[in-house]
Amino acid sequence: MSDDVQLLVYLALSLGVLLLIVLKFNINAAIALIFASLFMGIASGLGLMGTLGGITEGFGGMMGELGIPIGLGVILGKLISDSGGAYSIATSILNRSSEKLAFYSLGAASFVLAIPVFFDVAFIILVPLAVQIGKQLNKPLPYSVGSIIVGAAIAHTLVPPTPNPLASASIFGFDLGIMLVVGAIIGMVATLLTIKIYFIILDKGFWKAETDEDQAMENPYGSLDIPSNPPSALMALIPIILPSLMIVIGSFGNVFFEENPAIVSFLSHRIIALLVGTIAAYFVAAKSLNKQRRDNSSSEAMQVAGIVFLITGAGGAFGTIIQNTGIDEAIKNIFVSDAQTTISVLLVAFFMGVLFRTITGSGTVAGITTMTIMAGVVTGMDVHPVWVAMASLSGGLMLGHVNDSGFWITTKIAGLSMKGGLKTYTTSEAISGIVVLLITIIGAHIF
């Protein structure tokens, strides 16, 4: 057996260890990732201390780059959500929509909301609105629920400041503003296209209410705790738009200056941009939340961020261990032709993302691990790394199922059976991943 094949066998076994720990023993994915890292490092010859060093380096490096931005992003989103600003944004978008485009507007609202807040928060905020719209239009549940899933999943996967797109710039070494612009444009286009394709499938009788909906649940949608005087949609958008503009200005500065002036680099840095956005969110939230409630909201956000930190850091550790084994060269030698064509690299990134997402159930783990591996593969190739990042992330969108917390959140809150969850969450995200990949392939060959 060649060394390249042997490394891939060790990778497969480490994924088996990961799967066993998560599914058999029901242990958190972050802990499972550390075990998988230990197995991969020791088995591939990095040594005991070399493996520990790689884990420490990967975790610390990822947190050094992303710890503060992720924490700020979570606080920003929590304040917008708790103040009622997210609800204002959603209702504003929907109120400006015609009946014919209502579900597309719902998907667009979900896309916008999932940029600052996590997938599950955007889903919970929009479900009551979505169900009401579905009833008014006399359409089955998956039309409205599927629209929310598609928009939220794509935004969460492709648009900073969520962990994966935020990490992409650091891992591949390109400007974060590029990821923000590319992710936002492709994400919105992919959202609308995916909803259209998913509706075509639904129109052909894909949904069976008697088996796909949980008839035992009387009120699965819960109730929204919206303050009586939430900030307007325009005000609520300021904390989202402001840091995005700051980051993008830094990217444009590279066009006009050989080297960005220090003040431009400072203001466009992800930490400063998100700090400004978070401060703006505090002021916006003040309209409906007093100081105590804003402090409580921030504290609750940091509890959520702790889990995100652990999984993101552990994903970085696993990715670094894999990278230290030289598996990027093995992938080049086995899967990528001597010509190293753009499409072959993008497909490898995509299918690797699918593999990690299917096994771990975590899009964050899938994206970060795949991008870390592919960072070595694309070195010296005539393709901008943003496209490889997009391909990796599109794979991480695919095939979320019963080992994914998002699957159960959407299934139970929307009042679906497990079969219904597979027909909404799993199916719509699978279509999303393929659509994003196809747009990515086109983009990589044009730009």
Helix (H, G, I), strand (E, B) or coil at 189: helix
Q: What is the count of structural domains for the chain?
A: 1
Asked if residues 88 and 233 have their Cβ atoms less than 8 Å apart, the reply is: yes
* Confidence band for 219, pLDDT divided at 50, 70 and 90: very low
Amino acid present at 220: P
What does the alpha-carbon distance between residue 390 and residue 383 come to, in Å, rounded to a whole number? 12
Q: Write down the residue that tokens 């507007």 correspond to.
A: 105
Percentage of the residues of the chain whose pLDDT score is greater than 90: 15
Helix (H, G, I), strand (E, B) or coil at 264: helix
What does the alpha-carbon distance between residue 335 and residue 348 come to, in Å, rounded to a whole number? 7
Asked if residues 183 and 159 have their Cβ atoms less than 8 Å apart, the reply is: yes
Helix (H, G, I), strand (E, B) or coil at 213: strand
Report pLDDT for 218. Answer: 47
For residue range 163-185, what is the model confidence (pLDDT) as tens digits?
888 888 888 888 888 898 999 99
Report pLDDT for 335. Answer: 61
Query: How much is the mean pLDDT over the chain?
Result: 81
Asked if residues 46 and 54 have their Cβ atoms less than 8 Å apart, the reply is: yes
Check residues 11 and 99 and name the one with the higher pLDDT: 11
Which residue range is the domain that position 428 belongs to?
3-446
For residue range 376-410, what is the model confidence (pLDDT) as tens digits?
777 767 788 999 999 999 998 887 776 666 777 77
Report pLDDT for 339. Answer: 47
For residue range 115-151, what is the model confidence (pLDDT) as tens digits?
877 777 677 777 767 776 777 778 888 888 899 899 9
Residue 274 has pLDDT above 90, yes or no: no
What does the alpha-carbon distance between residue 386 and residue 182 come to, in Å, rounded to a whole number? 8
Strands of 248-386 (E only): list them. Answer: none
3-state secondary structure 219-261: CCCCCCCCCCCCCCHHHHHHHHHHHHHHHHHHHHHHHHCCCCC
What does the alpha-carbon distance between residue 323 and residue 345 come to, in Å, rounded to a whole number? 16
Lowest mean pLDDT across 106-110, 350-354, 415-419, 427-431: 415-419
| CB-facing half-sphere around the CA of 213: CA atoms within 13 A | 17
- For the chain, the residue count is 447
Average pLDDT over residues 416-420: 79
